[in-house]
Amino acid sequence: MMRAWSVAIPARIDHHPLTLDRRPRPQPAPDEILVQVRVCGVCRTDLHLVEGDLDPRRPGVVPGHEVVGVVREVGTATDRFAPGERVGIAWLRRTCGTCPWCRRGDENLCPASEYTGWDADGGFAEYAVVPAAFAYRLPPGYDDVHAAPLLCSGIIGYRALRRAALPPGGRLGIYGFGSSAHITAQIALAEGAELYVMTRGEGNRKLAEKMGATWVGGEADRPPVPLSSAIVFAPAGTLVPVALEALDRGGTLALAGIHMSDVPSMDYQRHLFLERDLRSVTSNTRRDGEELLHLVGRLGVQVQATVYPFTETDRALADLAAGRVNGSAVVTFS
């Protein structure tokens, strides 16, 4: 048996929709590994699932998809990992491998894709299973707590940065400065970008300044110069026209979230003309994950983490919802 947090009926986090109970320890399928969870990062996608912005795909699902743990059992059909190895489990859990999108390298668009903590139980538990082909080896320079946020916040932010098509030395605008943004910003700065941050919360603004932002303002403020590219991390559709209007000619806006509130109507001349591009980000490929995990070690990216005991996972989500987390929230069994 093991302890696990599960979602019975989605509801606002202050209504306590998460339940801590005991359930049988999972057994790995032939292509899977069994991982004893050491820590699990807390992602805004978990909050969307718990609160019902994303419909649960199975009853009583265990959220959590930024998992760092140790392999305890290996399925009979895989030898990719050995018992005792440290591994990471991320959001993308399985794809078909045969559809047109998988064959062309866009497995994040696979119609049969499955996700950790949504289609299958995730890391808010003492044990989790994952297909070995979708688990990651982790960079050695990061302990468990600081490696966990890389597995979604880092990977999705990295894909969003690439989707934003930032030119060399360009001006990058970031809307919302939470877990994903504070990792992405460091990569952009290391690659020579000039950073402009629009965010709410004094703590997030101070963190952006500390990390080297050229200018920091409120979440809907107009930056002092036109932006080459921008990324909206905040799940607020109202920021989409705001960010588009802040772009320079030929600029690109990437929307990084899996869920966003409704986008208001836009004016073609103000928001889209002059070849401004608007792009969404849908999950990630394993290639994105491997590139990000290699890159952060080389660039010395630092993860700011707030640690919660496993028994207070629901409080971590409540703090995330209320904007009380600077950087990343991580729950730990130690």
pLDDT tens track for 190-239: 999 999 999 998 999 999 999 999 999 999 999 999 999 999 999 999 99
Instruction: Tell me the residue range of the domain where 170 lies.
Output: 155-280
pLDDT computed for residue 201 by the predictor: 87
pLDDT reading at 17 higher than 90: yes
pLDDT computed for residue 210 by the predictor: 95
Please tell me whether residues 52 and 71 are part of one structural domain.
yes
Please tell me whether residues 57 and 123 are part of one structural domain.
yes
Please tell me whether residues 176 and 112 are part of one structural domain.
no
| Cα 7 to Cα 46, 73, 164, distances in angstroms | 10, 26, 34
Please tell me whether residues 112 and 173 are part of one structural domain.
no
pLDDT reading at 92 higher than 90: yes
In a domain, 249, yes or no: yes
pLDDT averaged over the chain? 97
In a domain, 297, yes or no: no
Please tell me whether residues 145 and 161 are part of one structural domain.
no
pLDDT reading at 39 higher than 90: yes
Quote the radius of gyration of the chain (alpha carbons, Å).
19
Please tell me whether residues 99 and 190 are part of one structural domain.
no
Please tell me whether residues 161 and 102 are part of one structural domain.
no
In a domain, 293, yes or no: no
State the virtual CA torsion across 108, 114, 117, 120 in degrees, nearest 10: -160
Please tell me whether residues 218 and 318 are part of one structural domain.
no
Single-letter residue type at 161: L
Single-letter residue type at 319: D
pLDDT tens figures, 262-308? 999 999 999 999 999 999 999 999 999 999 999 999 999 999 999 99
Please tell me whether residues 191 and 322 are part of one structural domain.
no
In a domain, 189, yes or no: yes
> What value does the mean pLDDT take over residues 105-130?
98
Please tell me whether residues 111 and 169 are part of one structural domain.
no
User: Of the candidates 297, 305, 301, which has an alpha carbon nearest to the alpha carbon of residue 327?
Assistant: 305
CATH number of domain containing 37: 3.90.180.10
pLDDT reading at 56 higher than 90: no
| Cα 256 to Cα 154, 161, 230, distances in angstroms | 11, 9, 10
In a domain, 296, yes or no: no
pLDDT reading at 24 higher than 90: yes
CATH number of domain containing 242: 3.40.50.720
> What value does the mean pLDDT take over residues 37-64?
95
In a domain, 287, yes or no: no
pLDDT computed for residue 97 by the predictor: 97
User: Of the candidates 121, 69, 71, which has an alpha carbon nearest to the alpha carbon of residue 93?
Assistant: 121
In a domain, 65, yes or no: yes
pLDDT reading at 127 higher than 90: yes
Domain end marker among 264, 280, 296: 280
The domain total for the chain is: 2
In a domain, 205, yes or no: yes
- Band (334; pLDDT cuts 50, 70, 90): confident
| Cα 77 to Cα 48, 72, 116, 251, distances in angstroms | 34, 15, 21, 47
pLDDT tens figures, 133-155? 999 999 999 999 999 999 999 99
pLDDT reading at 19 higher than 90: yes
- Band (123; pLDDT cuts 50, 70, 90): very high
Please tell me whether residues 267 and 315 are part of one structural domain.
no
Please tell me whether residues 222 and 320 are part of one structural domain.
no
